[in-house]
């Protein structure tokens, strides 16, 4: 089960965090992985890890907010592999702030990456997927996109838009055998979380980590590998009957919190 042998998978933001975990898991399951990553060093590091385990991978340095760059990368992938079977949109940035202290520049930056970046990537593959007779698109959203989270105004906006785009693409292309779903994690322990705590709570990292972990009723943060496991299912042939759905993976946050 969950065999991706012969599949061509493109993953934005595959150089770190959840994107890295997805790239490495997909490669271990037989997919040839193409990583679109703004940070050239982290993209190449993920490729190195995959190749060292006998997998197939290649990285492209790409700013997903720039449509021309994204379309050029997908043209190169199709030129090399003749198809794109799977697109996973993991590239994204965060922001802390309410409406009153979110500047126009903050808002535009979040929108450019988290919303337009996903639009650019989907637009870059959709015609190829139609021509080849189908494909799978998976977007990494957040529980912030469907419920209110304090001090995450612009970030929540962007993830809500991503969820809506997912539903629209699923509706518009179901007849083309293109499935589109999204995953909405709660807090996941990545290097971003560690950096955030170091920057904002110097000397109190352990205390704050424990506090943030307990926000999830299950009592801890998620692991990138756990999100990757759900992504693998949704992008595999075992999920052939699944489209147009948002999957919370949140340690009980939405349903079980008091």
Q: What H or E segment, with its residue span, contains residue 105?
A: helix 104-110
Distance from the first to the final alpha carbon of the chain: 38
Q: What's the CA gap between 230 and 214, in Å, rounded?
A: 22
Q: What's the CA gap between 62 and 66, in Å, rounded?
A: 8
Q: What H or E segment, with its residue span, contains residue 35?
A: strand 32-37
- The 3-state DSSP class for residue 24 equals helix
Assigned token pair, 232? 């693998």
- The 3-state DSSP class for residue 166 equals helix
Helices and strands, counts by H and E, the chain: 10, 7
Active site residue 201: no
Residue 36 CB-density burial (10 A; 0-12 exposed, 13-18 middle, 19+ buried): buried
One of 119, 155, 173, 247 is an active-site residue; which one?
155
The residues carrying an active-site annotation are 155
């Amino acid at each position: 089960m969950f065999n991706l042998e012969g599949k061509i998978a493109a993953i934005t933001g595959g150089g770190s965090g959840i994107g890295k975990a997805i790239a490495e898991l997909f490669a271990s399951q037989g997919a040839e992985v193409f990583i679109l990553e703004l940070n050239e060093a982290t993209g190449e590091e993920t490729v190195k890890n995959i190749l060292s385990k006998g997998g197939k991978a290649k990285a492209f340095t790409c700013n997903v907010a720039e449509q021309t760059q994204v379309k050029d990368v997908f043209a190169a992938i199709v030129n090399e592999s003749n198809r794109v079977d799977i697109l996973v949109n993991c590239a994204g940035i965060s922001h802390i702030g309410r409406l009153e202290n979110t500047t126009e520049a903050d808002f535009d930056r979040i929108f450019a990456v988290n919303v337009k970046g996903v639009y650019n990537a989907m637009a870059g593959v959709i015609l190829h997927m139609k021509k080849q007779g189908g494909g799978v698109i998976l977007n990494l959203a957040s529980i912030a996109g469907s419920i209110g989270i304090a001090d995450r105004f612009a970030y929540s906006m962007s993830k809500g838009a991503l969820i809506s785009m997912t539903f629209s693409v699923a509706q518009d292309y179901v007849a083309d055998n293109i499935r589109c779903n999204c995953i909405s994690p709660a807090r996941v322990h990545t290097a971003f979380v560690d950096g955030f705590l170091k920057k904002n709570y110097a000397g109190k990292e352990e205390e704050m980590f424990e506090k943030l972990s307990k926000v999830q009723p299950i009592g801890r943060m998620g692991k990138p590998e756990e999100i990757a496991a759900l992504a693998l299912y949704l992008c595999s042939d075992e999920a052939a009957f699944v489209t147009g759905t948002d999957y919370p993976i949140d340690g009980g946050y939405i349903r079980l919190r008091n």
